[in-house]
């Protein structure tokens, strides 16, 4: 049987990560994977997380199954944290998932179960795993414009494309800190999207993975809450990997909003059924950590302060790179970077230029130009700027 298996395409991010691991140059920079690193180059365990783990270890007396919905206390506190208002949480249901990726897949399965072959619209460019997840669930995928050539939100193009979305199509939107571009719509554009969703009848599907790393925690949730308050139905995939630093604990949540309680019950059961066939139930540890933090005022305050510090470092990195590129005479790319938000930035480089940046300067980013701005130490920013500037100047350097 197995000899008939054709070789699948390699994952581009992990292929680059493996290549980085084999690179012996001391100046090498791994800006591929979306993990936060401090100025020492490590991905730290947050102090609030560490204290929550100690508490859990001291009181833990069982590893019994939690059930198909996972940790129900986690689900409740996540609904409250993301949606805020009681009138929104009252028309929502949630199940714990295997991180944000698991939430995306469960919700994609829910869409396919509800209406097989549904068209889901994703941004162009999109998070590298959006299309594979949706197509693996049996859904059709179309794209809408996201950013213009100068790295600004292409509001006109986005709205024009999404006017073609039909009733009961699904539109996948990233709630903040767009991956890979770092480009987010303006508040006015989000309002226009909400109005268009109501008028056209398509269902928003929010991917929320970086809230707290853009402007601030509450501001980063405004678009999600605006849409939730405006549309009759909505899907939300939430990740705790980035803003809690729980990458390997695989902690996330799938949410469904509806105006019908019966519909919510059916949706929750369908999500449980999908989980049962994929992984049965999600791991408990990360969900227990998040619940412990969010239910304790002091721990929650500690966590928010740490999250603010992470965001400030990311913002300082982007500002520093912008300043150094400006100093090298690359004003336009610098201005493009300055407008971006969150962990990722997209460099105005071609795939060939990204290859030269990797080969000549040991700077590893994706061929699309995406780099993890949160993965750079402050002392490495001048070197990164030098490499980008040299590639922009051309082969003569």
- What is the C-alpha to C-alpha distance for residues 29 and 6, in angstroms, rounded to an integer? 33
pLDDT in tens, 370-384: 999 999 999 999 999
- For the domain 11-44+311-392, what is the CATH code? 3.90.1150.10
The confidence band for 153, taking pLDDT boundaries of 50, 70 and 90, is very high
pTM of the model: 0.95
Give, in order, the Cα–Cα distances in Å from 361 to each of 28, 39, 107, 109, 354: 7, 20, 41, 43, 10
With vertex at residue 102, the alpha carbon angle to CA 101 and CA 105, rounded to the nearest 5 degrees, is 90
pLDDT in tens, 336-363: 999 999 999 999 899 999 999 999 999 9
Burial of 139 (0-12, 13-18, 19+ CB in 10 A): buried
SS3 for 98-127, per residue?
EHHHHHHHHHHHHHHHHCCCCEEEEEECCC
- What is the C-alpha to C-alpha distance for residues 357 and 355, in angstroms, rounded to an integer? 5
pLDDT in tens, 175-194: 999 999 999 999 999 999 99
pLDDT in tens, 7-17: 888 888 888 98
Q: Which option is the CATH number for 65-295: 3.40.50.2020, 3.40.640.10, 3.40.50.720, 2.40.40.20?
A: 3.40.640.10
Query: Taking residues 324-343, what's their average pLDDT?
Result: 93
Please tell me the number of Cα atoms within 13 Å of 206 on its side-chain side.
34
Q: Tell me, what's the pLDDT at 397?
A: 41
Share of the chain above pLDDT 90, in %: 87
- What is the C-alpha to C-alpha distance for residues 137 and 108, in angstroms, rounded to an integer? 6
Query: Taking residues 245-263, what's their average pLDDT?
Result: 96
- What is the C-alpha to C-alpha distance for residues 25 and 281, in angstroms, rounded to an integer? 43
Contact 192, 159 (CB under 8 A): yes
pLDDT in tens, 56-103: 999 988 888 889 999 999 999 999 999 998 888 999 999 999 999 999
- What is the C-alpha to C-alpha distance for residues 70 and 135, in angstroms, rounded to an integer? 26
Residue 35, Ramachandran bin (φ over 0: left; ψ between -120 and 50: alpha; else beta): beta
Start-to-end C-alpha separation, the chain: 53
Residue with tokens 């993301």: 82
- What is the C-alpha to C-alpha distance for residues 221 and 203, in angstroms, rounded to an integer? 18
Contact 121, 172 (CB under 8 A): yes
- Residue 96's DSSP bridge partners are 253
- Greatest Cα pair distance, the chain, in angstroms, is 66
Token pair in block for residue 12: 């581009």
Contacts of 79 (CB under 8 A, 6+ apart): 89, 92, 94, 255
- Give the start-to-end residue ranges of the domains of the chain: 11-44+311-392, 65-295
């Amino acid at each position: 049987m197995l000899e008939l298996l054709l070789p699948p395409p390699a994952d581009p991010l992990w292929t680059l990560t493996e290549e980085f691991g084999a690179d012996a140059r001391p100046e090498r920079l791994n800006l591929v994977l979306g993990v936060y690193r401090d100025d020492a180059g490590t991905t730290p365990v947050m102090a609030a997380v560490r204290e929550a783990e100690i508490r859990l270890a001291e009181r833990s007396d069982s590893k019994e199954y939690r059930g198909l919905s996972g940790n129900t206390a986690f689900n409740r506190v996540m609904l409250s944290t993301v949606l805020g208002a009681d009138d929104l949480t009252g028309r929502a249901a949630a199940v714990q998932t295997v991180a944000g990726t698991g939430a995306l897949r469960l919700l994609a399965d829910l869409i396919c179960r509800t209406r097989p072959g549904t068209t889901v619209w994703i941004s162009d460019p999109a998070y590298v795993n959006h299309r594979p997840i949706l197509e693996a669930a049996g859904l059709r995928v179309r794209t809408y414009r996201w950013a213009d050539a100068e790295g600004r939100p292409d509001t006109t193009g986005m709205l024009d494309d999404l006017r073609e979305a039909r009733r009961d199509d699904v539109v996948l939107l990233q709630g903040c800190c767009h991956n890979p571009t770092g480009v987010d719509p303006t508040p006015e554009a989000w309002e226009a999207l909400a109005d268009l969703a109501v008028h056209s009848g398509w269902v928003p599907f929010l991917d929320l993975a970086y809230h707290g790393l853009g402007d601030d925690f509450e501001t980063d949730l405004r678009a999600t809450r605006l849409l939730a308050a405006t549309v009759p139905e909505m899907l939300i995939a939430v990740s705790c990997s980035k803003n809690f630093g729980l990458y390997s604990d695989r902690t996330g949540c799938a949410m469904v909003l509806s105006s019908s309680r019966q519909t919510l019950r059916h949706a929750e059961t369908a999500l449980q059924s999908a989980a049962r066939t994929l992984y049965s139930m999600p791991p408990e540890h990360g969900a227990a950590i998040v619940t412990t933090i969010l239910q304790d005022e002091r721990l929650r305050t500690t966590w928010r302060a740490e999250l603010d510090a992470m965001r400030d470092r990311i913002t300082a990195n982007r500002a520093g790179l912008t300043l150094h590129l400006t100093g090298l005479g690359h004003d336009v790319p610098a201005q493009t970077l300055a407008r971006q938000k969150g962990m990722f930035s997209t460099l105005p480089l071609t795939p060939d230029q990204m290859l030269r940046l990797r080969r000549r300067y040991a700077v590893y980013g994706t061929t699309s130009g995406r780099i993890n701005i949160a993965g750079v130490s402050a002392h490495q920013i001048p070197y990164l700027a030098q490499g980008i500037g040299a590639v922009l100047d051309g082969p003569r350097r």
